[in-house]
Amino acid sequence: MNPRLLVITGPDQGVSHPIAMDSFAIGRNPWNQLSLTDSSVSREHCVIVRQGDDFLIRDLGSFHGTLVNDARVTERALANGDTIQLGRSRLRFLTDEEILCEETTADIRVTQIPAGQAEIPAALENSQDMQTLLRISIMLHSFHALYKIRRSPARSTLERHLLEFIFEAIPASRGAILLYEEDLSDPSLLSVRSDASAPHRPVVINRTLVRRVIEERCGLIVESAVSADAEQSASASPRKSAALLLAPLLIREQVGGIVYLEGAAFREQHLQLLVAITHIASMALENAFHLEWVETENERLESELHPDHHMIGDSPRLRELQRNILRAAQANSTVLIVGETGTGKELVARAMHQNSPRAGQPFMAVNCAALAENLLESELFGHEKGSFTGAHVQKKGRLEVAAGGTVFLDEIGEMPLQLQVKLLRVLQERQMERVGGTQPIKLDIRLIAATNRNLEEEVRAGRFRQDLYYRLNVVTLKTPALRERQSDIPLLATHFARKFGAQCGRRISGISPEAGAYLKQYDWPGNIRELENALERAVVLGSSDIIELEDLPESIREIARPAEVAGAPGLQDAVDRAKREAIAQAMQQAKNDHAGAAKLLGVHPNYLYRLMRNLGMR
């Protein structure tokens, strides 16, 4: 077995990667066994794990998810030919279980027919074979159905149907359809079938004959060739002979695939029939590929009209931010994103990268508040071997690894002053040195920074360098707080409810009007992150397919009753009345001492103050 991954679409298209380790990590980070230069792939996206003779693929919490045969998976066993989609990249998992190759020209006699010049033999007219040929023609020329089949989750569905029809018309014991992308040396997709009466064994592909079909664009009948039915036994018995049929699939005047059949004996009429079938299939496939190209081009043009920003909402503040993102994305200027915690500053940075000319290059995100000063310096700038205790090998920093791409420095206001000096040099001279190194390294990166602090105040307080602030503050984007875009709250809430419903295996059909009114009126100090957490809690603890008011966190239910539901009495009214009575009684017992009343109620004084304010109590 020689497992490998072939990149069939994406920035690394055509590259084949052998899986030579028990754990094969895939992602955008350069230290993965397979590093994809695709901005839509997560830094650590998924891993393929060997378990004996089997392989499992496991998603690592990626942003866009891992799809196997167009179905989203968390963990799944892989089979030969499975298609794996990571962001915009599609890979094909291949083993050598179903197909073997050999090079031989000895002891064979070949008859060939140029592709497209075969006629249906007269002996086949009004026969079952003619009915089979008609069925093939009807199936392959149903363009819309064909297109859906090619995009369906079942892998190689079209090719397997075609093989089944061919086996009905031609007496083959086993066969394969080999489809090629740009590289004609190895097939990018293969479908294999054996006759029901024959044991399952690999199909032996004669590369010499395949090359001849590709170069001469002809169908071949080989009257004597090596068969997979006669493997060498322990007694070294002679290998039996078998006949072969080969015919090309011509797509856009180029060989896009080959039908390869093996049997005990074939006649020339079988070759004529196979060439006729492949001619029909070629025309249908070409139309299907053209339809797929039109669809892809339509998606590309649509994405240009509606930039890829993954932002939900239609409020004026959000539309203005989206327009500014698109404008700033086309330049190479340094960008500073400001806004409260939880407003989606990293999402803005990623949207800017994905809509920029650097979209096909790495996007490196570093949280400056999450690492100690020495670790942050090593993470950003890298280090030389022996530069400090524990530096056993040379390590490239994020700034260097992101060559040609974008570096996002989150919480830049938390960066220590000493590192601010080094970052200033990066912005001024576009070069850096590794920790412990003396050799300057030139950088081709775009830098985006974000902070929830007021950097002007930080400069006045001496906690942030003024010269660095001016270097960062070239283009400034402000992410609006959620309370400033209240009209987007229902859309966001519905999105999160369905997202977490799918994760929990629950069907969430919507949010009740009462719960929606409370969500819209709440102040959301934690912004979108708090809203997301509130909806996750509601989905996990809820019991129906509707998010009800009682499913929401208590902090949201405690606010003053919204005007649109004020006239509708219910459980919440009774709860609010009981709270007011309890607070009034505690205040009376504590002689209007706020801290004493909080102690009697068993709550924190700050919580009691907020509760009284939300309940409209003085």
**Per-residue confidence (pLDDT) for residue 108, from 0 to 100:** 56
Closest CA to 105 of 229, 273, 244, 228: 244
Residues with Cβ < 8 Å from 381, sequence gap 6 or more? 397, 399, 400, 422, 432, 433, 434, 435
Residues with Cβ < 8 Å from 380, sequence gap 6 or more? 366, 397, 398, 399, 419, 422, 423
Residue ranges in 118-242 assigned as alpha helix (H): 128-140, 143-150, 157-169, 207-216
Cα(130)–Cα(233) distance, rounded to whole angstroms?
Answer: 41
Are the beta carbons of 60 and 42 closer than 8 angstroms? Answer: yes
Are the beta carbons of 421 and 465 closer than 8 angstroms? Answer: yes
**Per-residue confidence (pLDDT) for residue 369, from 0 to 100:** 87
Are the beta carbons of 423 and 412 closer than 8 angstroms? Answer: no
Whose structure tokens read 């590093």? Answer: 35
Whose structure tokens read 């509707």? Answer: 546
Q: Which residues of the chain fall short of a pLDDT of 70?
A: 1, 12-14, 96-133, 135-160, 181-203, 224-242, 288-289, 292-293, 295-310, 560, 563-573, 614, 616, 618
Cα(125)–Cα(236) distance, rounded to whole angstroms?
Answer: 45
Cα(105)–Cα(208) distance, rounded to whole angstroms?
Answer: 7
> Tell me, what DSSP letter sits at residue 488?
G
Residues with Cβ < 8 Å from 117, sequence gap 6 or more? 275
Closest CA to 416 of 381, 460, 369: 369
Residue ranges in 184-315 assigned as alpha helix (H): 207-216, 268-305
- Could you report the per-residue pLDDT of 459-507, keeping only the tens digit for each? 999 999 999 999 999 999 999 999 999 899 999 999 999 888 888 888 8
Can you tell me whether residue 371 is helix, strand or coil? coil
- Could you report the per-residue pLDDT of 347-400, keeping only the tens digit for each? 999 999 988 888 888 999 999 988 888 888 888 998 888 888 777 888 888 898
**Per-residue confidence (pLDDT) for residue 88, from 0 to 100:** 83
